[in-house]
Structure 1
Amino acid sequence: MPNLTPFSKLDKTFDRASELKAFDQTKAGVKGLVDSGVAEIPGIFYCPPKEASNSIPEETHLGVPVVDLGDIDKDPFKRRQVVEEIREASETGGFFQVINHGVPVSVQEEIINRVRRFFEQDSEVKKQYYTRDYTKSFIYNCNFDLFSSPVANWRDTIVTVMAPNPPNPHDLPQVCRDILFEYSKHIMKLGELIFGLLSEALGLKSTHLVDLDCNEGLRIIGHYYPSSPQPELSIGTTEHSDDTFITVLLQDNMGGLQVRQQNKWVDVPPVPGAFVINVGNLLQAKHKVLANREGPRISVASFFSTGRLPTSKLYGPIKELLSEQNPPKYKEITVREYNIYFAEKGLDGTSALPHFKI
């Protein structure tokens, strides 16, 4: 590993750009640092204590509701009840968890296990997939915004686009190849269901968001958060809001996800078998992941977004919901325009949406 300056030794000679480059060239990620026995976080990973704080949030009535989707296709009353729960959760916090969603627990466990196995396999095998070329079918790296964000996050990541054009299976690592296809099949079905419920919560026909192709693109992102020697000075994922229509998140049992509600950080404790649904930048729902002395923590995020597709379709405020009393606040833009700005901005703790206000 390169000789990275520990946080306690930072001085005016610290060359952040050079150390970021040296770290990236190892292709070993944060796990490589941990495996090398690092006892103190390198300066490039330093996060101000206020942001990195892993103190228990204040006692609060706020929280992320758990919505039971069981029997909603058979029981109209239950469906109306679920739609109301989702509407309230989306209006107030932008996050909710779902259970009885139809995705087998065995599939959830296998995707978590296979993501773990990818990161914990021999480093030389893993390095062949390390890249910052997002046209590749399968990407492994550390921090997509490593060179642009003010804080490097204590995590490693894999990314693959599974829809609308699935990758060639031979381009995916054997260790997680089959489960990525199996998992994506289930997530696409769940995504269509969630978009239908969100459409109904907006008072629209159930196919409205699907008709806008909101479920057309699917990106699967696996995060690996190694244990941190100084969790109070590092962060798993910086405060941000997702550049998606919705995100379907699967957590392992470690915890660490927090969401911002009414200027308070609220824990999202793992619920066995549940998915966390995040309405993304539709509501600027901000969240972060704390670093932890224990680890690793594994999560799999499924991003519904057409951002990497060459489409000219414009998205903006839903016309059926606009009026003289409720005029549009944002421009119509392509998702690609939004994603390009989001990537350039990086995870700097701010939302990308204000940039597109009218």
Structure 2
Amino acid sequence: MDISDATMQTVADYDRAKELKAFDDMKAGVKGLVDAGVVNTPRIFIRPHEEFAEELTIHWTKLQVPDIDLDGIRDNNEDIVDQVRAASQTWGFFQFINRGVPLNLIQEMIEGVHKFNEQDVEVKKQFYTREPTRNVRFNSNFDLYHSRTASWRIRWLFLLQVPKVEVNEVPEVCRDTIMEYIREVTKLGEFCLKYFQWLYD
């Protein structure tokens, strides 16, 4: 079945499982649909009306995720550790700011992803996978076969645990930038593990 023809099906002959597989077998993600000239949103991406009705009954509250500023951490370790402890106990999560990863590198990462996505689909297919043993994975929707509705997104996943990401696993068009970003994020992770062990002292 061609995913591009899926929106023309009637309710009676709609087969969600086949449409999901057809989309996944393209190995091109949602951008692949656009590049293929699809003008109607495939039904796997359309949320049921009852979900919207349910959301209308929810009263959303503006919440501010706790920010923890790592600027000058070496001069004020205990205060930052206290902030992490408080945020973890009260919220269960937090976000770092001024975390040491250069802003120009973050911008280069964004540009690198754009460059990858603009490549020929046959090049991108080499990296499209759901294989859990791969350290680098490019695909669309990590929960594609389990969620009620597919999300209009693509994603890259880099596993930074051992074994480490190898250079040849990363697309050549953005390889240097990604490997540098991985090094910076790894340093940040090691730094945090070292200093935040005080949380358990």
What is the TM-score when the length of structure 2 is the normalising length?
Answer: 0.81
- 2:32 maps to 1:32: yes
Q: How far apart, CA to CA, are the structure 1 residues paired with 2:64 and 2:186? A: 27
CA shift, 1:188, in A, is 1.4
For structure 2, list consecutive stretches of 5 or more residues without a partner in the other structure. Answer: none
| Superposed CA offset, 1:2-50 (max 9, x none) | 33433x9651321111111111222221111233444442111223444
Which of the pair has more CA radius of gyration? 2
Secondary structure of the corresponding residue to residue 94 of structure 2: strand
Corresponding residue for residue 71 of structure 2: 70
CA shift, 1:121, in A, is 1.7
Corresponding residue to 1:126 among 124, 127, 133: 124
Amino acid at match of 1:35: D
- Cα gap change, 1:100/1:157 in structure 2, threshold over 3 Å: closer, same or farther? closer
Q: How far apart, CA to CA, are the structure 2 residues paired with 1:10 and 1:115? A: 37
Greater per-residue helix proportion: 2
What RMSD, in angstroms, separates the aligned Cα atoms of the two structures?
Answer: 2.8
**Relative contact order, higher structure (CA 8 A, sep 6+):** 2
Give the alignment of 1:101-250 within 5 angstroms: 101-200=99-198, 202=199, 204-205=200-201
Q: How far apart, CA to CA, are the structure 1 residues paired with 2:91 and 2:37? A: 39
- Cα gap change, 1:72/1:159 in structure 2, threshold over 3 Å: closer, same or farther? closer
| Superposed CA offset, 1:173-227 (max 9, x none) | 1012222221111111211233345433x3x24xxxxxxxxxxxxxxxxxxxxxx
**Which 4+ runs in 1 deviate beyond 6 A?**
none
Amino acid at match of 2:44: I
CA shift, 1:109, in A, is 1.4
| Superposed CA offset, 1:139-190 (max 9, x none) | 2222233223332221112233343222432232101222222111111121
What is the TM-score when the length of structure 1 is the normalising length?
Answer: 0.48
Corresponding residue for residue 19 of structure 1: 19
Q: How far apart, CA to CA, are the structure 2 residues paired with 1:52 and 1:129? A: 38
Total equivalences in the alignment: 196
Identity among equivalent pairs (%): 42
- 2:42 maps to 1:42: yes
- Cα gap change, 1:68/1:3 in structure 2, threshold over 3 Å: closer, same or farther? closer
Give the alignment of 1:324-335 within 5 angstroms: none
Q: How far apart, CA to CA, are the structure 2 residues paired with 1:10 and 1:93? A: 46
Q: How far apart, CA to CA, are the structure 2 residues paired with 1:186 and 1:52? A: 42
For structure 1, list consecutive stretches of 5 or more residues without a partner in the other structure. Answer: 206-358
* Contact 2:4/2:42 (8 A) holds in 1: no
Greater per-residue strand proportion: 1
